[in-house]
Amino acid sequence: MITSLITQIENGEIVLPAIQRDFVWNENRITMMFDSIMRGYPLGIVLLWETYLDIKYREFAKNSDEDSKHIFMDNDSNSRIKLVLDGQQRLQSLYISLNGSLNNKRIYFDLLSGERSDDFREVFYVFKFLTKNQAIEQNKQAIENRKNNEQEDEGEKYSLFISVFKILESNPESRLDMRNAFQKKYELTSDETLRLELNMSKLIHSLTNEPNILKVSTIDENKSKESKDRKSESDILEAFVRINRQGITLSRSDLIFSMLKLNWKESSEELPAFIKEINEGNNLNIDIDFVIRSLFAVSNLGSKFDVDLLRKSSNVQKVKDNYLKTCNSIRSLVDFMQDELNILNSAVIGSYLNLMPIVYYLSNTPDNLVPNSEILRVKKALAIFGYTRPFSRYGDSRIGRFIRDELKPLSDENEFIFPLESAVWWSNYWEGYYEFDTKLLQRNRHLTLHLLQGKQGTKVKYIKNSPELDHIFPKSTLSEKGYDWSEINTYGNFWILAKTKNQNKSNKHPKEYFSDVEDSVLSKSFIDRELLDFRKYKSFIKWREIEILNKIKKNLHLKDAEIDYSTMWPSDDQE
């Protein structure tokens, strides 16, 4: 019975192991589940594991919101607990609906819903998450509509929302009182009164007396505490992985993190805390996926998410041993990007996967810092990676190969040189990079304009200040004048401005739009007022492309002999 499970959750008997991911169901999915319950549809099977082992776990959240934080506990008293291996989302949804709230709203049931439709895909029984005031307002509006005899829209009926919690805590006498009160207050017809009464009874029966809606299977249930037949943590981990592989409900990084949490209890709190810390004040969006990939790479376990690797305790130990070094390397990378590139946005550099080789490199340098002698080489490599994006595609294999062939041999010899030449060679091999020229800058206009205007790409406090790339000469006007899209969408015709200013700009003539912009701002972005003339458009973009290229090369201290493939490898013999 559903209410029996909820009581066990409330009493702390059914809990969540640290391997479980976060709660992700939204309001729509939860209310759809309640429609299924009222229609007698089965919700599947919940799989539990009864154990006395000292395992890290957390209790279900009674009140769930975006800022909810998990508090993990240890079963160090070896009490009997039941851990949820499958069905967490359903149980958590039921618990917050019946005993708590979601984003400070409780679930309400429209007691006048339930009419069947020819389309069985439609929702018959209407549930909504509402605040108390919202429910009062909706019901008040329904009363006013009735009193005014307003015409109902086709297919729409009057509603009467009441808290599910209030229905469940009622007894037959109080439900009779509610029915009579609603009938009088809402001037309900006899059919509506009957539907209201049936809906309350059906909801209570479905949640408290219907055994087939949600079935429970419990591993090791009622076995003695000392029984040798009880499953071990490794058995349960294997079962958990197989369940979630079959259902494809977890990503590979979710599975890896789940395995780490079971074998390394501290990770359940340390990794989320690190991710929150590292993302403050930037738009790099470093997540569990990136950190775990980095841990694997630094631990020389490859860059692929191979779940089987963590079934060996020795590999788990490698990850634990390299955790601090990996986190410090990521911290060092973020500082380096801010100080040297002034870029703090993963989208601008074409995915954070392009940062992975640098994390590995820093994990082997003294104090996980870029040596002074290598600052320019790493800076240049990051720029080339940002433009060519060699690791954004086929990341698993390419990252692993670059680390194995270029970085690991150097670290094995305690060499701290960053192999810029190899970065150029592989960028050519994978992405056809030849030289740092206007064609390269066109590959990643976002990076080009951010480097030009000194924009970090960090989060803004005010949404209307969100930066956007905008055409200097309006694209619609240029198109009408017969310019090719390659001429219209060149980086020479873009600059970064705030979202609202972009919307207000519309199709204004550039000379008109830039009339109140200071000369120093235009000069910094190579916008010459004398060239803001459609008759001079081709001259404008050609001149500006070259000026931007020269400025970026100067700021990055680029020398052709260092970063041009054709100069470094004049023939293809090396390939």
- 3-state SS, one letter per residue, for 227-262: CCCCCCHHHHHHHHHHHHHHHCCCCHHHHHHHHHHH
Q: What is residue 551's predicted lDDT score, i.e. its pLDDT?
A: 95
Cβ–Cβ < 8 Å for 195, 112:
yes
Token pair listed for 201: 């009874």
**pLDDT tens for each residue of 134-163:** 999 888 888 887 777 654 444 446 789 999
The more confident residue out of 94 and 570 is: 94
Question: φ, ψ for residue 108 (rounded to 5)?
Answer: -120, 150
How far apart, in whole angstroms, are the C-alpha atoms of residue 331 and residue 311? 29
Question: Averaged over 365-370, what is the pLDDT?
Answer: 97
Q: What is residue 574's predicted lDDT score, i.e. its pLDDT?
A: 42
Token pair listed for 264: 């390394």
How far apart, in whole angstroms, are the C-alpha atoms of residue 107 and residue 573? 70
Question: Averaged over 343-365, what is the pLDDT?
Answer: 93
Least confident of 378-387, 391-400, 437-446: 391-400
Q: Cα torsion for 345, 348, 350, 351, to the nearest 10°?
A: 10
Average pLDDT value over all residues in the chain = 87
- For 144-204, what is the HEC assignment? HHHHCCCCCCCCCCCCCEEEHHHHHCCCHHHHHHHHHHHHHHCCCCHHHHHHHHHHHHHHH
Exposure of 211 by Cβ count < 10 A (0-12 exposed, 13-18 middle, 19+ buried)? exposed
Q: What is residue 244's predicted lDDT score, i.e. its pLDDT?
A: 65
Question: Averaged over 283-305, what is the pLDDT?
Answer: 88
**pLDDT tens for each residue of 161-182:** 999 999 999 999 999 999 999 8
Question: Averaged over 344-353, what is the pLDDT?
Answer: 90
CA atoms within 13 A on the CB side of 402: 32
How far apart, in whole angstroms, are the C-alpha atoms of residue 525 and residue 521? 7
Bridge partners (DSSP) listed for residue 49: 83, 219
Residue ranges covered by each domain of the chain: 2-208, 251-433, 446-555
Cβ–Cβ < 8 Å for 350, 445:
no
Neighbours of 569 (CB within 10 A): 15
pLDDT band at 248; cut points 50, 70, 90: very low
The more confident residue out of 105 and 559 is: 105
Q: What is residue 573's predicted lDDT score, i.e. its pLDDT?
A: 47
The yes-or-no verdict on residue 575 having pLDDT over 50 is: no
pLDDT band at 419; cut points 50, 70, 90: very high
Token pair listed for 528: 């010459």
b/e code 257-274 from CB counts within 10 Å (16+ = b): bbbbbbbbbebbbebbeb
In the 8-state DSSP scheme, what is residue 280? T
Question: Averaged over 281-310, what is the pLDDT?
Answer: 85
The more confident residue out of 497 and 398 is: 398
Token pair listed for 224: 């003695």
Token pair listed for 540: 């404008």
The yes-or-no verdict on residue 503 having pLDDT over 60 is: no
Least confident of 38-42, 277-281, 305-309, 539-543: 305-309
Q: What is residue 416's predicted lDDT score, i.e. its pLDDT?
A: 96
For residue 215, is it left (φ>0), alpha (ψ between -120 and 50) or beta? beta
Q: What is residue 28's predicted lDDT score, i.e. its pLDDT?
A: 92
pLDDT band at 233; cut points 50, 70, 90: confident
Q: What is residue 97's predicted lDDT score, i.e. its pLDDT?
A: 94
Q: What is residue 529's predicted lDDT score, i.e. its pLDDT?
A: 92
How far apart, in whole angstroms, are the C-alpha atoms of residue 340 and residue 361? 17
The yes-or-no verdict on residue 473 having pLDDT over 70 is: yes
pLDDT band at 79; cut points 50, 70, 90: very high
The yes-or-no verdict on residue 298 having pLDDT over 80 is: yes
Q: What is residue 255's predicted lDDT score, i.e. its pLDDT?
A: 67
State the residue for tokens 């990341």: 395
The yes-or-no verdict on residue 221 having pLDDT over 70 is: yes
In the 8-state DSSP scheme, what is residue 337? I
Q: Reduced to 3 states, what is the DSSP secondary structure of residue 305?
A: coil
The yes-or-no verdict on residue 212 having pLDDT over 70 is: yes
Q: Cα torsion for 280, 284, 285, 288, to the nearest 10°?
A: -100
The pTM score is 0.63
